[in-house]
Structure 1
Amino acid sequence: MNFGRLITAMVTPFNETGQIDYEKTEKLVEYLLANGTEAIVVNGTTGESPTLTHEEKLQLIQYVVKVVNKRVPIIAGTGSNNTYASLELTKQVESFGVDAIMLVCPYYNKPSQRGIYEHFKTIAEATKLPIMLYNIPGRTGVNMLPETIIELAKINNIVCVKEASGNLDAMTKIIRETPSNFSLYSGDDSLTLPILAIGGAGVVSVASHIIGKEMQQMIFQFLSGNVVDAAYQHQDLLPLMQSLFIAPNPTPVKAALNYVGIDTGSVRLPLVPLTETEEKVLKEELYKVKQTYNVG
């Protein structure tokens, strides 16, 4: 299953008191849809899901589904390191009209590969929704091996994986040994072009909040056979992509959105705003891209 080439893992806008700001959320959704986003992940790590209450998650997912109104697919982040809590949240969002769910590899518990398999299998068997697996060992402390993903891909409603291991060899194996209707998405903006080159479907992106149209153009150039132009564009965009991770995500991208006039508020503890030095680096890279592509 394919959700398009450019999926945005959406930030969660907050107001001055740190509560979800639904007016800002609606404006952000409209901005993303106008700037290249083909699907939206809501309540992912970029949406600060670890700091949202269960009730906030339900309200946010339901609200975004309503605002989007079937214009693009909505993928709800319902994963955690608690299998049955993830299953319960998944069942609750089914009735909201989401198009799929994203399940992160269980963090902190450090399960075995067999445990990882059984975790995802148990949730998959309890829902009819399509499932995007999410492998991000840098945050979870455990790497879901290609063999595990290949085995999970045999389950009908497990349709794709967001791969943020950074291992192109492992990704090549996954793409080669999974069914043709199973998709692999980059979980790292900076690897979008390399992953397209090995047969990946696209990217679940943070940078698309700021350079969605430019990333779409790069993807289009590559798929049209203009690989040299795509490579040049990748080279232009890479420093900004890297600066958007100068501090823990989503702190830099929220700051960048505010710089370009899309108010999403600050971050919740334990995340903190950028330092002056970090702000300076981010603003410099935004300025360079703006000079080239007229962003913001």
Structure 2
Amino acid sequence: MTTTPPFGRALCAMITPFTESGALDLDGAQRLAAHLIDEGCDGLVLSGTTGESPTTTDAEKSALVRAVREAVGPTTPLLTGVGTADTHHSVQLTAQAADSGATGILLTAPYYSRPPQPAVAAHLREVADASELPVMLYDIPARTGTRIEPDTLLTLADHPRVLAVKDCSYDFLAAQKLISRTDLAYYAGCDEHNLALYAVGGTGYVSTVSNIAARQVRSVLDLFEAGDTSAAAKAQQRLIPLTESMMSSGLPGTVTAKALLTELGLPSGRVRAPLLPADAHTTADLRAAYEELRGALSPS
């Protein structure tokens, strides 16, 4: 099991701020990134699911990495998504990530074409070979349509640059087996699993909820690490209403995170089509869940 987190333990899957006209908001991205690091994030993951990677251009992805790197300094872990449906395109994005100042890449299985596992492994290996950047594999079959099967992960675990997995498979048994049999650093990719995965040997999380409550999300692992497992469980439980509102409301976490960030006066902007912004009722429910969390942490 990995004892030294390759990218830190507490990572935020950062939204991508846009201006009111829909352009990339690099100033907003820098301010939000600095805020998230100040709030306790060890590092940031850009251009992932929460970062609306399907609707940002290659040039925008590069500019985002460069701007955020400038804001957070040279040592902060900074990953960027390079997963596409096209192996050649993912290789190009990996080279671009290296040139832009990324610490590592986030790599999904190729989507839509639903390749069999030997093709999935070949795709992931070719992209990992494309640069010296370390790789976090991203297993999220609900979005890609293709699982990175446990046996495939086992074959990739010996690759010198494949260091980590962001796990959104909802296969907790497989995650435990891979943690026990490999040196892969396992990161929870679903906020409801942060504590559970950490407790069985996981490395940390890549959290969407951290866009809104970075300190509270981090506190769960800090308490567990300090040996206060009861307090860690209670901290995780306090996050349930906000996590459920953001991640199980029928809307993508991008939509709910941006609605709340706007409510809180932090850089956000609208989502890009085909996504639509949260309506007023949903936004009010999200704000209520956030205020409930704040209330639970306030002295009585």
Q: Structure 2: which amino acid aligns with 1:50?
A: P
Q: How does 1:172-183 map to 2 (within 5 A)?
A: 172-179=176-183, 182-183=184-185
Structure 2 counterpart of 1:237: 239
- Report the TM-score, using the length of structure 2 for normalisation: 0.94
The DSSP-based 3-state class of the residue aligned with 1:134 is strand
Q: Per-residue deviation at 1:81?
A: 1.4
RMSD: 1.2
The DSSP-based 3-state class of the residue aligned with 1:102 is strand
Q: How does 1:83-122 map to 2 (within 5 A)?
A: 83-122=87-126
Q: Per-residue deviation at 1:92?
A: 1.9
1:293 lines up with 2:287 in the alignment? no
Once the two structures are superposed, residues 30-84 of structure 1 have per-residue CA deviations (whole angstroms, 9 ceiling, x without a partner) of 1101101101111112111100112211211222222222241111111111111
Q: Structure 2: which amino acid aligns with 1:59?
A: A
The DSSP-based 3-state class of the residue aligned with 1:40 is strand
Structure 2 counterpart of 1:191: 193
- Of the three residues 264, 270, 273, the one matched with 1:269 is 273
- Of the three residues 226, 229, 240, the one matched with 2:228 is 226
Structure 1 counterpart of 2:219: 217
Bigger drift between 195-204 and 238-247 goes to 238-247
Once the two structures are superposed, residues 239-268 of structure 1 have per-residue CA deviations (whole angstroms, 9 ceiling, x without a partner) of 101111221220000111111221311101
Q: Structure 1: which amino acid aligns with 2:199?
A: A
Once the two structures are superposed, residues 157-188 of structure 1 have per-residue CA deviations (whole angstroms, 9 ceiling, x without a partner) of 00001010111101001101112xx2010010
Q: Per-residue deviation at 1:26?
A: 1.3
Q: Per-residue deviation at 1:122?
A: 0.9
1:158 lines up with 2:162 in the alignment? yes
Structure 2 counterpart of 1:5: 9
Q: How does 1:124-143 map to 2 (within 5 A)?
A: 124-143=128-147
Q: Distance in 2 between the 1:267 and 1:22 partners? A: 15
- Report the TM-score, using the length of structure 1 for normalisation: 0.95
Structure 2 counterpart of 1:62: 66
- Over the matched positions of the two proteins, sequence identity in percent amounts to 35
Structure 2 counterpart of 1:40: 44
Indicate conservation of the 8 Å contact 1:214/1:293, yes or no: no
Q: Per-residue deviation at 1:203?
A: 0.4
Q: Distance in 2 between the 1:100 and 1:171 partners? A: 21
Q: Distance in 2 between the 1:239 and 1:163 partners? A: 22
Q: Per-residue deviation at 1:293?
A: 2.6
The DSSP-based 3-state class of the residue aligned with 1:154 is coil
Indicate conservation of the 8 Å contact 2:62/2:100, yes or no: no
Question: Structure 1: 5+ residue runs without aligned partners?
Answer: none
Q: Distance in 2 between the 1:170 and 1:37 partners? A: 27
Bigger drift between 10-19 and 277-286 goes to 277-286
Q: How does 1:65-80 map to 2 (within 5 A)?
A: 65-80=69-84
Structure 1 counterpart of 2:202: 200
Q: Distance in 2 between the 1:173 and 1:59 partners? A: 38
The DSSP-based 3-state class of the residue aligned with 1:274 is coil
Structure 2 counterpart of 1:23: 27
Q: Per-residue deviation at 1:96?
A: 2.1
Q: Structure 2: which amino acid aligns with 1:224?
A: A
The DSSP-based 3-state class of the residue aligned with 2:50 is helix
Q: Distance in 2 between the 1:111 and 1:195 partners? A: 28
Question: Structure 2: 5+ residue runs without aligned partners?
Answer: none
Count of residues in Structure 1 that have an aligned counterpart in Structure 2 = 292
